[in-house]
Chains A and B, each alone.
Chain A
Amino acid sequence: MSQPRKLHNFPGGVHPAGHKAESNASPIRPMPLLPRYVVPLRQHIGTPARPLVQVGDRVLKGQMIGAAEGYVSTAVHAPTSGKVTAIEPRAVPHPSGLFDEAIVIEADGEDRSIGMQPLDWRTLDPSALRNRIREMGLAGLGGAVFPSYIKLNPGASRNGASPIHTLILNGAECEPWITCDDRLMRERATQMLEGARIMGHMLGARTVIVGVEDNKPEAIAALTKALSEAEADDIEIVTVPTCYPGGGGKQLAYTLTGVEVPTGGLSTDVGIQVFNVGTAFSLYQAVMHGEPLISRVVTVTGHVGTPGNFEARVGTPISDLLAAAGGSLEGASGEIIGGPMMGFDLMDLAAPVTKAVNCVLVKSPALFPPKPEALPCIRCGACARACPVELQPFEMYWFSRARDFGKAQGYNLFDCIECGCCSFVCPSHIPLVDYYRFAKSEIWEREREKQSSDQARTRHEFKTYRLEREKQEKADKFAKAAAETKAKASTAETGDDPEAAKKKAILEAALARAAKAKEEMTAAGLKPRNVENLPPRVEQEIAEIEARRGTAVADTEAEMPKVDQ
């Protein structure tokens, strides 16, 4: 459908060279079956999956081998049939370059799969459908890999209607070089649109829009054709201007609806949900064919023999993927996972394709010349004009560099989406985004430190309080006991309380003992310490204290509370 929809231009944005032609002409090629797959347990935002298999187990294609653990988590599945040969830390495609727990499967070559059951999504209860989707490991294929079942929950609304009014399918694919979504839209438009319908149904969305950048006319034509063939007009296909980062969720939502997603919020806060087109296709596969998310389309491009798009199973070692694309050419200088604007350097070619890997871009010094040396910022403001979030990047840079992180935060550092537009246009070639990443990580680190020191302080304060309280309790008990003794003693003097009489007897005995001891000492010619010539009243008091101590100690030993420390 052509569009009556009014488009809105988000602020800023840049126009880097597209480099789409290198890979967008060749159809999606399926990867051959490989002898070994490495399936990481953490491919998504949130908790890693919990392994369900053990070394030595035989698995089938599509069998769940890692279960979603907790709310924000997704299941992982065996990419083919074979034997689990290891569950151990392996190289994964992550900017940190650190190893992460992965299940290694040795393929048996038979590629036998579990029985896959299609679902009747129009009749199935949405929450049951969501559970199935969760079990099939669906996650956003745009790069963030957020579990889809969470995003497919429209949430509660007061009046019973869904709070989500608009579903947007993100076919913008604004990063240079990447063409996997483009090919998917061209080749599998019908299935993708059906996936969109399922999503719209689950969300209760009244409007479903597919947003595609105008540098993909073939994809737009394919989608339009698929829509007319289905004799449906329930989905709007909208061409949006090519402008990086037009495929950012919040940017695309603004372009298509003119609604700004509030800071710190999600698009759902304004009734919009955004999914990548690849996710819609995988949802179609999951619902219509019962197929878990075990493969995705990956663009392999740049300095390689035959750039193109590959249907790669999750777990495919990237070295094998590169080999399928004719291998890196002479003089290759590394690989980028993702696009050149927001991707990261691959540390280890043994790392596998995960649900997050949309592109492997082989670098060469000609395609990606080394960055010139950075000069001081001249506050030219090019960064601010390019910023799609309307930040003042040069101010954030200044304060991040000076380690004045509070000030950097004051300039809304955490609104930065790290799209790289500012670094891209900076005439001083300052790696601005690196400074923001640094500042953010420092702030998080300080936050963690502050939290742990707060906890330690709270613990310490509570311990001090508890010791103080115990001391106080002890003192109270002594005072109470003493008061009781005194009261009893006084009653004993006046009344005929047997207890008091007993006490009095003890007292008298003590007095007698003291007198006797004194006598003995005098007899022996010894002088007691400073006690001769005491007046009788004082002697009496000493004896009383002795007696009281005797009873109080006996009492408290019996009643002493049990304490931890």
Chain B
Amino acid sequence: MNGSPFTLLERNSVSVVMLKVMAALIPAIIAHAWFFGPGIWVSLLVCSVFAIGLETLMLLMRGRPLGPFLKDGSVLVTAWLLALSLPTLAPWWLYAVGMIFSVVVAKHLYGGLGQNLFNPAMVGYAALIVSFPMYMTQWPGPIGVAVQSINLGEAFDLVFAGQGSVSVDAFTSATALDTWKTQARLGKPVADILVMPAFGWAGGRGQELVSLMYLLGGLLLLGNRLITWHIPAAFLGGVAFTAWGLHLLDPGQHAGPLFHLLSGGVMLGAFFIATDPVTAASTPRGKLIYAGMAGLITVLIRNFGGYPDGVAFSILLMNVAAPFIDTYTQPRVFGHKTSDQAGGRKDTA
């Protein structure tokens, strides 16, 4: 088949899309390195290497051409998203197991690029938090909270040798989400919780600025028309609305909307994970329902569930519902009449 159109949009390909997504992650990565030390570079590197290795292996096993599929860059995006979701300075095999779940199970066992039902990075994250909850809570504390900071060499040591010149306990700490959850359950007054070292001016100390950098990256994606506003807006709206409602009911037990928006993986989820086109709903109305529900579930898991963060599980849950949502939210086709169309269509420009 070789018909019209004979011309294609210049400089437009899956590789370009993926590269732009990765570029949009860079501000947040830099902020992360600034606040939590150089460990993020190690985990990004290790995840990327495993990702490419596993992708190559799976392509070979499935008899697919290596060139175009390795060049598409999708596996690197998965690797980066997983690396940014995991505690840095975890042992190397934790990253390896995560990448196996992401690349082998969630991606290639479902048929490879474009065929997966679940977001690969979130499958990796979910598998790890279910299997190795202890390792998944050892986040490095932000600068000023951790007992000591480490350099890049020490980070490599920690990841590959298990321990080097520093002991793990010296620089990890509970995240703000964890702290709130534990302390609120213990009945500690809100005022006493918020002055604990894990908290910054709005969310988790340091994490709040990383979150803002994700927001910046997300705006870049919006500006480049790689995503539409529907999913981030609905996801953030769902989080804020649910958090606000619970906070009104019991401000001592439940943190406020701003805290939820700027802690944990909400911003990363809103712009980079829930927007994964392969697994998200694809109609405009469907995106709103899909992401709004994911935002709601995120806060419910955070406040009532057994896991510190709910972003991964809420998105995975809504991934299942996405095809169903799509089926029932098909947009009206040009020239098709609908009952609610009184005064002609609305201009879409």
Contact = CB atoms under 8 A, between A and B. Distances in A.
B1 to A, nearest CB: 4
B13 A372 contact: yes
Contact of A263 (B225, B278, B333, B347): B333
A376 B115 contact: yes
A372 B11 CA distance: 11
Nearest to A343: B4
A259 B347 CA distance: 12
Contact of B333 (A363, A385, A389): A389
A301 B9 CA distance: 20
Contacts, number: 151
B339 interface: no
A428 interface: yes
A431 B2 contact: yes
Interface in B1-30: 1-10, 12-14, 16-17
B333 A420 contact: no
Nearest to A250: B335
Contacts of B335: 250, 260-265, 389, 415
A256 to B, nearest CB: 13
Nearest to A411: B330
The secondary-structure label for the interface of chain B is loop
Interface string A333-355: 00010101111110000000000
Contacts of A261: 335
B4 A342 contact: yes
B249 interface: no
A8 B345 CA distance: 10
B113 interface: yes
B151 interface: no
Nearest to A14: B9
Interface string B283-297: 100000000000000
Contacts of B114: 375-379, 428
B348 interface: yes
Contacts of B6: 336, 340-341, 343, 363, 368
Contacts of A420: 4-5
B8 A371 contact: yes
B113 A392 contact: no
A340 B5 contact: yes
A431 B5 CA distance: 8
A125 B69 CA distance: 67
B14 A378 contact: yes
Contact of B348 (A9, A95, A379, A434): A9
Contacts of B228: 381, 385
A380 B336 contact: no
Nearest to A261: B335
Interface string A361-387: 001000010011101111111001100
Interface in B137-183: none
B14 A427 contact: yes
B343 to A, nearest CB: 9
Contacts of B69: 375
Contact of B3 (A95, A412, A429): A95
A375 B3 CA distance: 17
A429 B9 CA distance: 9
Contacts of A263: 333-336
A390 interface: yes
A340 B4 contact: yes
Interface residues of B, number: 44
A393 to B, nearest CB: 11
B306 interface: no
Interface bin, chain A:
35 or more
A324 to B, nearest CB: 23
B7 A340 contact: yes
A70 interface: no
Contacts of A418: 4
A16 B2 CA distance: 19
B62 interface: no
A187 B349 CA distance: 34
B331 interface: yes
Candidate in B4, B333, B336 with the most chain A CB atoms within 10 angstroms:
B4
A420 B347 CA distance: 22
Contacts of B1: 431, 434-435, 438
Given A379-B282, A380-B277, A437-B3, A415 B17 contact: no
Interface string A399-428: 000000000000110010010100111111
B315 to A, nearest CB: 15
B63 interface: no
A375 B114 CA distance: 9
Nearest to B348: A11
Contacts of A425: 9, 12
Interface string B213-227: 000000000000110
A433 B278 contact: no
Contacts of A424: 5, 7-9
A380 B7 contact: no
B3 A389 contact: no
A8 B13 contact: no
A429 B334 contact: no
B113 A376 contact: yes
B62 to A, nearest CB: 12
Interface string B314-337: 000000000000100011111111
A390 B333 contact: yes
B195 to A, nearest CB: 45
Contact of B277 (A375, A379, A429, A435): A379
Interface string B110-139: 001111000000000000000000000000
Contact of A10 (B14, B113, B334, B344): B334
B74 interface: yes
Nearest to B344: A258
Given A9-B347, A411-B330, A375 B113 contact: yes
A84 B337 CA distance: 53
A388 interface: yes
Given A9-B349, A344-B4, A431-B3, A381 B336 contact: no
Contacts of A275: none
A51 interface: no
A411 B9 CA distance: 25
Given A265-B335, A372-B13, A415-B334, A384 B5 contact: no
A210 interface: no
A13 B336 CA distance: 18
A390 to B, nearest CB: 5
Interface string A244-276: 000000100010001111111100000000000
B4 A433 contact: yes
B68 interface: yes
Given A258-B344, A375-B68, A381-B282, A341 B331 contact: no
A425 B17 CA distance: 12
Given A379-B277, A433-B5, A427 B333 contact: no
A342 B28 CA distance: 44
Contacts of B347: 8-9
A426 B5 CA distance: 11
Interface in A6-36: 8-11, 14, 16-17
Given A381-B228, A381-B282, A389-B333, A368 B7 contact: yes
Given A376-B113, A378-B114, A438-B1, A429 B8 contact: yes
A-B pairs with the 8 shortest C-beta distances?
A420-B5, A376-B114, A9-B349, A434-B1, A263-B335, A340-B6, A389-B334, A380-B277
Given A434-B1, A437-B3, 18 more contacts: A11-B334, A261-B335, A263-B334, A263-B335, A341-B6, A342-B5, A345-B2, A363-B6, A376-B112, A378-B278, A379-B282, A389-B334, A392-B330, A395-B282, A424-B9, A428-B13, A428-B14, A438-B1
7 contacts: A262-B335, A373-B68, A384-B282, A385-B228, A426-B8, A431-B1, A434-B1
Interface of A: 8-11, 14, 16-17, 95, 176, 250, 254, 258-265, 336, 338, 340-345, 363, 368, 371-373, 375-381, 384-385, 388-392, 394-395, 411-412, 415, 418, 420, 423-429, 431, 433-435, 437-438
